Structure 1
Amino acid sequence: MSLQIERPGQDRLSTVRSWLSEEFAVQTARLKDLTEINADTGDPAQAHDRAAMLAATRQSLDQITSALRRIAEGTYGSCDRCSTPIPAERLEVLPHARFCVPCQQKHHG
């Protein structure tokens, strides 16, 4: 999911914060739905798919929470590793990005 950021400075952060907050609500509702499903069909593939969706939703919530925390701390948009600014184009595609591209490549090999 891509975020369209056209405003500079503080307005841009407000847009990002608002989008992340909305996405947090969506993912929280998804997690609630997934955890309330009690239908055990006995199909291992369905159980595996459900576990994968739960893990992906939890990871998404962690990423969103981390991005919101960085906004509150004033460190959003700076690479966690080298502290250089993360390009706006990268943040539009990955609003939760913690690393610039070179550091991301080093981080994940």
Structure 2
Amino acid sequence: MSDRTDTHDKQWLTNLELTLNHEFQAQTARLTQLTADTGDPAQAHTNAALIAATRQSLDQISGALRRLTAGGYGSCEKCGTEIPRERLEILPHARFCVPCQQKQNR
């Protein structure tokens, strides 16, 4: 890997970490708002679904941040191959390469 590519990749990872941290803060604030008791029983079911989705998002973001810190970000957790950068740009919390993800979904 050339120095220029290495620098570009480090910059991309730094920007990704900033973006993930910002998204984590935004999702945490959203969860706080959703868990505030509005007293409206009609919204209870909708809020429960939104809370579950927000918690899942926080879990995915936390996992991506942990992998960034530990140095394992971008490697498939199943087979160990490198996850293509294009996939990570679309789905930054991806834990598996496409073939392993497809096997996981079966």
Q: TM-score, normalised by structure 1?
A: 0.87
Letter in 2 for 1:56: A
The structure with more helix, counted as a fraction of residues: 2
Q: CA deviation at 1:9?
A: 1.7
Aligned residues: 100
Q: CA RMSD in A?
A: 1.2
Matches within 5 A, 1:1-109: 8-36=8-36, 38-43=37-42, 46-109=43-106
Q: CA deviation at 1:108?
A: 1.2
User: Which runs of 4 or more aligned residues in structure 1 lie more than 6 Å from their structure 2 counterparts after TM superposition?
Assistant: none
Q: 1:34-70, CA deviations, whole angstroms, 9 ceiling, x for partnerless residues?
A: 111x223332xx2211100000000000000000000
Give 3-state SS (helix, strand or coil) of 1:8's partner: helix
Long gaps (5+) in structure 2: 1-6
Alignment identity in percent? 56
Long gaps (5+) in structure 1: 1-6
